[in-house]
Structure 1
């Protein structure tokens, strides 16, 4: 009799352990389904924004074409509002364009006047990013064949291209690595030292600085 009871106890324990294991697995499966449902719900909520972002370049391009502007096939197929090029690619395109029709090329520097004075791409036009909204209509021709936009490292010029592309400019070339990546001709005063500043502001101060050194 005791052997039978032990057998029943072992079987009962095994069944209980199996039931607990199944319950744990079912609970994990329910939690997984809840997570998937939450993720799917969030994805569906974001879907209209993602569609709008994907369609936005095309909407801007159609509006530009309706106004008589020309939009390149490359931009339309890639869903881009402006060309994305390295400094080396920009240099090649600038040299090629200047060799044929120099008046149709604009190189736009969107840095500060101080940065521009120290070093700039040869022939670049300064329109600081902070002043772009009030100056772009009068200083950046929208009929230029190519407008190359650069800053120091690429961030301000990217924002400038985004701004200009939404105002009808379809000929923009964003120089993603900025002046840091440019190996072509440059202009400017070079690095300004303390002694140079003193010489410009006060000859006596510069002489004193040299004597002190």
Structure 2
């Protein structure tokens, strides 16, 4: 599986148009509590392997994975795609920093 990335603008469009797209925050609970994308699910990358049951059962589900800058989320995307067969996984390029920097799309502070 090749890592696919989505721009903050594309992610925001998905967030507005599809309540079925899961936004997965792989940062720490402390980071998530500080600032997050509304309706996102928090599963720290260190816990992802043990909390897979919280993700959609459909392997083609639309999942946008994010962290602070896109590094941890890229690792999470690779893990979900290569090891667990999720095909609808994309990495938010630049993470929450880029999302916030592109525009204030409705971040919860």
Q: Normalised by the size of structure 1, how large is the TM-score?
A: 0.46
Instruction: Output one character per residue of 1:104-136: Cα deviation in whole Å (capped at 9) or x when no partner.
Output: 211000000000001100111000011111112
Return structure 1 stretches of 4+ with deviation > 6 angstroms. none
- Counterpart in the other structure of 2:94: 177
State the SS of the aligned residue for 1:120.
coil
SS at match of 2:39: coil
| RMSD after superposition | 1.4
Count matched residues.
103
User: What is residue 108 of structure 2 aligned with on the other side?
Assistant: 187
Stretches of structure 1 that go unaligned for 5 or more consecutive residues are 1-56, 58-79, 189-213
Aligned partner (choices 29, 36, 39) of residue 113 of structure 1: 29
Alignment of 1:1-213 (within 5 A): 57=1, 80=2, 82-97=3-18, 102=19, 104-136=20-52, 138-143=53-58, 145-166=61-82, 167-182=84-99, 183=103, 184-188=105-109
Q: Which range moves more in the overlay, 146-155 or 179-188? A: 179-188
Greater fraction of residues in helix: 1
CA distance, structure 2, for counterparts of residue 178 and residue 142 of structure 1 = 25
TM-score (norm 2): 0.86
**1:187 positional shift:** 1.3
8 Å CA contact 2:14–2:21 kept in 1: the answer is: no
